[in-house]
Amino acid sequence: MKANEFRIGNLVLDQFGRVAKIETVGFENTVRLTTDTYKCENVSLNGCNPINITPDWLSRFGAKKNVTQLCFKIGKKYGALIMMNGTCDFYDYKGRTIAIIKYVHQLQNLYFALTGEELKLLA
C-alpha cells in the first residue's frame, strides 16, 4: 500500500488486524492511526492492510439488500455501488461501470470525491 492511496479518515487494518482510522499521512509511507482503544504514532503502511469490501461493510455504510444484490446509492445524481456474486462495481445512472471497488478506503475516497462529504458508518 502507498500513502498516496489514502486520505485522513480512511479505515485500514493495523498490524494486529484491528480496524483503525488514519489520522495523518506522513512522509516515507507512514501514517498515524487510532482505534477505540489506542493511538499510534507514525506506523509504516507496510504493516497495515486494506479492508476488503464485503456485504457487512456495505451494510454498515447503509447499503440496502434485495434478493440478488446489495445496493449502495451515492447521492441522487451520481450512481450506485452494486455488490453481486462477490464483486462490487460502481455504476452511473446510465448503467455504465465507472469503477470496481475492492476496499473500504476506495469506497470512502469515491464517496468523498463525488459528494464532498465523509462517508459515515451507521453502526
Q: What is the pLDDT of residues 96-110, one digit of tens each?
A: 888 889 999 999 998
Q: Residue 14 above 80 pLDDT?
A: yes
Going from the C-alpha of 102 to that of each of 10, 13, 57, the distances in angstroms are 14, 14, 11
Secondary structure (H, E, C), the chain? CCHHHCCCCCEEECCCCCEEEEEEECCCCEEEEECCCCEEEEEEHHHCECCECCHHHHHHCCCEECCCCEEEEECCCCEEEEEECCEEEEECCCCCEEEECCEHHHHHHHHHHHHCCCCCCCC
Q: What is the pLDDT of residues 43-77, one digit of tens each?
A: 888 888 999 998 888 888 888 777 667 777 776 67
**For residues 14-28, average pLDDT:** 87
Q: What is the pTM of this model?
A: 0.86
What is the predicted pLDDT for the residue at 68? 66
Q: Say which residue, 67 or 80, is predicted with more confidence.
A: 80
